[in-house]
Amino acid sequence: MKNLSQTDYPEYFNQYISLVKQDDDCVDAMQNSLDNFVNFMEIVPFEKYNFKYQFDKWTVKDIVRHLIDAERVFAYRALRFARFDKTPLSGFEENDYAANVDTTSVNMDDLIQEFILVRKSTIKLFKSFSKKMLDNKGIASGKEISVLAIGYIISGHAIHHQNIINNRYLK
């Protein structure tokens, strides 16, 4: 990853960042993960959309909704920190978000289109950031993180969930 250091993000996020190709810049990584995810979702059978591999796990639709929600939260954080807003931001509880939305009657094509729109918006946002903005850091969930790291996390997060769908829902 170009210009990214381990001091740019909490260790927890390495599980996402490590999935991104080392030579991709932040915007390329976002575009690549978008393209790969959308292409991957085309092979997910309809009967798997509302499937849970365990009672307490999310459906494939829930995962796509989660990706959309999380990307919006991360993009908001990136915007705040890129604008040098030093206000610490609280975390968000992904399971609470998932528990308060019903995806069973939502059309998967609509979810994918929303994901595409959100990602394209995030890409436009990151393209607008200067190097100084990308290097800036803020506090989220009590931890310091750079704008650039958030961009890589967004990409790796989609890859992470694509891997989960492939390994736990399709096999």
Surface-to-core class of residue 157, CB atoms within 10 Å of its CB (0-12 exposed, 13-18 middle, 19+ buried): buried
What is the per-residue burial (b if ≥16 Cβ within 10 Å, else e) of 113-125? eebeebbeebbeb
Averaged pLDDT score across all residues of the chain: 96
Q: Quickly state the pLDDT bin for 19 (edges 50, 70, 90).
A: very high
Confidence at residue 24, expressed as pLDDT on a 0 to 100 scale: 84
Q: Quickly state the pLDDT bin for 150 (edges 50, 70, 90).
A: very high
Residues in the chain, overall count: 171
Query: pTM above the 0.75 mark?
Result: yes
Write the pLDDT tens digit of every residue in 91-137: 999 989 898 999 999 999 999 999 999 999 999 999 999 999 999 99
β partners of residue 166: none
Q: Which residues, including other chains, have CB under 8 Å from residue 67's CB and lie 6 or more apart?
A: 37, 115, 157, 158, 161
CATH 1.20.120.450 describes domain 6-46+55-169: yes
Write the pLDDT tens digit of every residue in 47-71: 999 999 999 999 999 999 999 999 9
Domain ranges of the chain: 6-46+55-169
